[in-house]
């Protein structure tokens, strides 16, 4: 099988920085670019901006060979859970290497940090800080700084946090692909501005929310300009407006503390806080003002809110159960024919087929389908229902 590399991505949306990564990998001789892409919901705990098949198409238009889905709820887990799902997917697809963006770009340092996080020494240091009611991200940073004496910015940048978790996941899976940490260029992960001709996905989403379509198009690769423009013209992009806010708040008010506590990432303290906050809040701003945001990240709270809204069952599988193909080009099709023979998981482009494999597959398909319906329903102009079953695989 020819040289292959995997990327875990959200493409929320696909932009020139993502194209830069694919171009770099092709320049290094990687013929097959295999993407493990978030499905209808993303890690920060919201539906994705664009439908997953549109995002897959944009990736293929810019050099990706094959796009596999990371379904909900795996796509909306913590950095550790999301990274594990991505690595499980890429390992199952048999890639030779894994590439990810990194603020520091130092592969050897990231490997050392990841391996430290798997030690008892780290667990003991982390426990010490958590016992003093330090928020988990801060406790993690302090434990690393105690060991390595690094500057905080080296271990708190979003891409580096994920990079460490990707490497850690590989070690847990006893998998040794080549690790490629590509230094991020241009605007920062959460930046809403632009730099060196690049804008972050956050910045692009903000432009869309402000209807600055002409401004954002210069950060979309030319090969995908038509696809992006069609999504904008149709109004088929998720928007967190008052309709979304009201629907979510109503769904939260129906739940008790016992209901909340069954959701992923929601402990007893948060469950009680959510029950009280939902009863007295008539906006997201009020809701977060009434939640313990000093100890818990906004992303974690958003993930709990999304799980509550989508009615995520408590007994969900903890590992990826299947490989769903969203799109491929000619090279990807050839790669898939060979990779699927050795893949330990069921492989298909069809949600229906995958849902019939076993009970665990069925549960994940249902959860992702609900996320897909939420993404479509709360677009600027509400989209077609049941797209998870009606949209066809993208082929270029």
Pairing of strands 198-199, 194-195: antiparallel
The Cα 392–Cα 351 span in angstroms is: 10
Q: Give tens-digit pLDDT for 345-360.
A: 999 999 999 999 999 9
The Cα 208–Cα 203 span in angstroms is: 9
User: Given pLDDT bands bounded at 50, 70 and 90, which one contains residue 188?
Assistant: very low
User: Given pLDDT bands bounded at 50, 70 and 90, which one contains residue 190?
Assistant: very low
Half-sphere exposure of 124 (CA within 13 A, CB side): 5
Comparing 115-124, 145-154, 170-179, 275-284, the range with the smallest average pLDDT is 145-154
Q: Give tens-digit pLDDT for 313-331.
A: 989 999 999 999 999 999 9
User: Given pLDDT bands bounded at 50, 70 and 90, which one contains residue 189?
Assistant: very low
* Tokens of residue 331, six digits: 């090279």
Pairing of strands 323-328, 97-102: unpaired
- The answer to whether 12 touches 202, Cβ cutoff 8 Å, is no
Which sequence spans correspond to the domains of the chain? 4-103+181-239+317-395, 242-310
The 10 Å CB-count burial string (b at 16+, else e) for 188-201 is bbebeebeeebbbb
Pairing of strands 66-70, 323-328: antiparallel
In this predicted structure, what is the pLDDT of residue 393? Answer: 98
User: Given pLDDT bands bounded at 50, 70 and 90, which one contains residue 207?
Assistant: very high
**How remote is the C-alpha of 178 from its chain's centroid?**
22
Average pLDDT over residues 167-193: 81
The class of domain 4-103+181-239+317-395 in CATH terms is alpha beta
């Amino acid at each position: 099988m020819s040289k292959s590399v995997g990327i875990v991505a959200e493409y929320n949306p696909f932009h020139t920085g993502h194209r830069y990564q694919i171009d770099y990998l092709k320049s290094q001789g990687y013929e097959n670019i295999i993407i493990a892409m978030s499905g209808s919901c993303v890690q920060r705990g919201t539906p994705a901006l664009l439908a997953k098949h549109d995002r897959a198409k944009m990736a293929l238009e810019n050099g990706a060979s094959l796009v596999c889905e990371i379904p909900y709820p795996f796509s909306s887990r913590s950095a550790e859970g999301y990274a594990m799902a991505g690595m499980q997917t890429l390992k199952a697809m048999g890639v030779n290497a894994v590439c990810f963006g990194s603020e520091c770009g130092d592969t050897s340092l990231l490997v050392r940090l990841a391996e430290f996080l798997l030690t008892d020494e780290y667990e003991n240091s982390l426990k010490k800080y958590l016992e003093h009611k330090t928020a988990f991200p801060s406790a993690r940073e302090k434990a690393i700084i105690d060991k390595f004496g690094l500057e905080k910015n080296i271990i708190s940048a979003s891409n580096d946090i994920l990079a460490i978790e990707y490497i850690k996941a590989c070690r847990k899976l006893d998998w040794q692909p080549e690790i490629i940490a590509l230094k991020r260029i241009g605007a920062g992960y959460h930046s809403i501005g632009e730099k060196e001709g690049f804008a972050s996905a956050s910045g692009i989403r903000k432009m869309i929310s402000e209807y600055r379509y002409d401004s954002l198009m210069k950060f979309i690769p030319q090969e995908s300009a038509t696809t992006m423009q069609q999504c904008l013209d149709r109004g088929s992009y998720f928007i967190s407006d008052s309709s979304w806010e009201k629907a979510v708040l109503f769904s939260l008010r129906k739940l008790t503390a016992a209901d909340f506590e069954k959701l992923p990432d929601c402990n007893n303290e948060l469950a009680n806080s959510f029950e009280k906050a939902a009863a007295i809040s008539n906006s997201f701003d009020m809701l977060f003002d009434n939640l313990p945001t000093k100890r818990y990240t906004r992303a974690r709270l958003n993930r709990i809110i999304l799980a509550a809204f989508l009615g995520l069952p408590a007994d969900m599988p903890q590992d990826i159960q299947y490989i769903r193909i969203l799109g491929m080009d000619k090279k990807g099709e050839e790669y898939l024919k060979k990779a699927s023979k050795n893949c330990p998981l069921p492989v298909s482009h069809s949600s229906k087929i995958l849902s019939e494999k076993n009970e665990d597959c069925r549960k994940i398909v249902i959860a992702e389908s609900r996320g897909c319906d939420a993404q479509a329903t709360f677009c600027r102009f509400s989209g077609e229902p049941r797209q998870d079953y009606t949209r066809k695989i993208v082929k270029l």
